[in-house]
């Protein structure tokens, strides 16, 4: 057998799987998106139809806010946990990564228990101010839920990058007169930028496509995955659902592509 043939045989399973489960469904999705009464204009409707546009904007804003808040929180915690040894450190790390084990629906349920109509925060607020505070079902609840499952994804990447920092570079900055703030601003944070880009992109993609948590919580706000679900199941508008799916995919893919070229390394797409 020639080596060329051997390579082709080895690649065949991959090509078959890719064609069957990725290329063909995606192509079909694009075709279906243009098969409605409006044809290819359905794609335009994502931007022209207020309901779709607003949900796209809301989803992007939510995903960006989640990414920024996650990066800030995970960086502070990751730096602290990686740099300090204290009793219970490994328990804390296990706790911080625990949400990885929970499906989105459970995360949504936990947010309801925390900030829902019967939630803990509502009860405390009522006891203190006489007014019940409920934000689980609006953007605030979604944000909190997304934050909860995003932090573990980012924190592990940040901790790994912090561990790899050259301590001598920080010592060099200190020798030149830089205090703790300056060392963080000028040395540590710039060195962590590739980690921010890589983990931020995954965080953004996950938040854009999150469904379980949105399904549990998004009763007062529309995010794109929920709109797709509604069009598909309740309105049986397959064409619009497909067009929105392609639109969601393009925005997320574009974010990953930009971050990949900025980081110069491969950034995995999140599920």
Q: Smallest distance from the beta carbon of 264 to other proteins, in angstroms?
A: 12
Q: Which is nearer to other proteins, 4 or 84 (CB)?
A: 84
Q: Smallest distance from the beta carbon of 180 to other proteins, in angstroms?
A: 9
178 neighbors 187 (Cβ within 8 angstroms):
yes
Name, in order, each residue with C-beta under 8 angstroms of 46's C-beta and a sequence gap of 6 or more. 52, 53, 56, 243, 244, 247
Q: Which is nearer to other proteins, 25 or 179 (CB)?
A: 179
Q: Smallest distance from the beta carbon of 71 to other proteins, in angstroms?
A: 18
Task: Quickly list DSSP for 207-251.
Answer: HHH--HHHHHHTTSS--HHHHHHIIIIIS--HHHHHHHHHHHHHH
Q: Which is nearer to other proteins, 10 or 175 (CB)?
A: 175
Q: Which is nearer to other proteins, 11 or 172 (CB)?
A: 172
Q: Smallest distance from the beta carbon of 175 to other proteins, in angstroms?
A: 4
Tell me how far apart the alpha carbons of residues 210 and 103 are, in angstroms, rounded to a whole number.
10
Q: Smallest distance from the beta carbon of 77 to other proteins, in angstroms?
A: 23
First-to-last C-alpha distance (Å) of the chain:
39
Q: Which is nearer to other proteins, 169 or 250 (CB)?
A: 169
Q: Which is nearer to other proteins, 123 or 166 (CB)?
A: 166
Burial 21-60 (b: 16+ CB within 10 A, else e): eeeeeeeebbebbbbbeeeeebbebbeeeeebeebbebbb
Q: Smallest distance from the beta carbon of 67 to other proteins, in angstroms?
A: 22
Residues in contact with other proteins by CB under 8 A are 166, 168-169, 171-179, 182, 186-187, 190-191, 193
Name the CA dihedral angle for 95, 101, 105, 109, rounded to a multiple of 10 degrees.
-30
Beta strands in the chain (DSSP E): none
* Tally of helices (H runs) and strands (E runs) in the chain: 14, 0
Tell me how far apart the alpha carbons of residues 34 and 247 are, in angstroms, rounded to a whole number.
12
Q: Smallest distance from the beta carbon of 196 to other proteins, in angstroms?
A: 13
243 neighbors 33 (Cβ within 8 angstroms):
yes
Report phi then psi at 130, rounded to 5.
85, -5
Q: Smallest distance from the beta carbon of 186 to other proteins, in angstroms?
A: 7
Residue of 63, 17, 103, 40 lying closest to 248 (CA atoms): 63
Q: Which is nearer to other proteins, 58 or 188 (CB)?
A: 188
């Amino acid at each position: 057998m020639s080596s060329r043939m051997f390579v082709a045989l080895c690649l065949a399973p991959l090509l078959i799987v890719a064609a069957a489960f990725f290329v063909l469904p995606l192509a079909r999705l694009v075709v279906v998106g243009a098969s409605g009464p409006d044809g290819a204009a359905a794609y335009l409707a994502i931007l022209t139809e207020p309901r779709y546009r607003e949900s796209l904007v809301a989803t992007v804003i939510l995903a960006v806010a989640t990414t920024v808040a996650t990066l800030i929180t995970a960086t502070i915690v990751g730096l602290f946990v990686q740099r300090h040894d204290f009793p219970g450190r490994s328990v804390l790390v296990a706790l911080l990564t625990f949400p990885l084990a929970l499906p989105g629906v459970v995360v949504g349920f936990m947010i309801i228990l925390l900030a829902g109509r019967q939630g803990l925060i509502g009860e405390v607020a009522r006891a203190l101010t006489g007014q019940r505070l409920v934000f689980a079902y609006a953007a605030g609840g979604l944000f909190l839920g997304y934050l909860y499952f995003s932090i573990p994804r980012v924190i592990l990447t940040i901790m790994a990058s912090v561990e790899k920092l050259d301590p001598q570079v920080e010592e060099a900055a200190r020798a030149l007169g830089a205090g703790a703030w300056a060392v963080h601003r000028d040395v540590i944070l710039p060195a962590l930028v590739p980690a921010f880009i890589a983990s931020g992109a995954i965080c953004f993609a996950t938040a854009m496509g999150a469904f379980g948590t949105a399904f549990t919580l998004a009763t007062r706000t529309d995010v794109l995955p929920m709109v797709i679900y509604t069009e598909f199941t309740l309105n049986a508008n397959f064409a619009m659902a497909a067009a929105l799916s392609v639109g969601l995919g393009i925005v997320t893919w574009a974010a990953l592509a930009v971050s990949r070229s900025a980081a110069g390394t491969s950034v995995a797409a999140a599920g």
